[in-house]
Amino acid sequence: MPDRVNSLIPRGPGGMWKAFKWSMQGLAAAFRLEASFRLEVYLFVILCPLGLWLGQTPLERALLVGSLLLVLSAELLNSAIESAVDRMGPEHNEFAGRAKDMGSAAVFVLMMNVLLCWALLLLPRVWP
């Protein structure tokens, strides 16, 4: 559904500010309500500076830090899926369970991506 009538016109500074505020509200809610997101933020706070320090080129730094950001993004999407599914009702539903499991699997795959990126970039330096 479009934001407003004639939505092909750019939002402008006011609309961009509102979108920014909504994004910050979403991040704050995820941090406050989702233990998994908090843990991943804590890991990001530790690993991001480490990745910036260990990366020898801008591309390496982008891969090390970018892979961490992807996990945070996937966790936000997974939490959104879980919230929407939970809104539908507490009773067990096979499709709702599948949606939650697939969201969790997406986070897991991106965590494996972090391990792969970090290992491929850093292991050859310590283990030739």
Strand (E) or helix (H) holding 13:
helix 12-33
Instruction: Give the integer Cα–Cα distance in Å for 61 and 70.
Output: 14
Active site amino acids? 75
Q: Which of 51, 24, 57 is nearest to 118 (CA)?
A: 51
Backbone angles phi, psi at 70, to 5 degrees: -65, -40
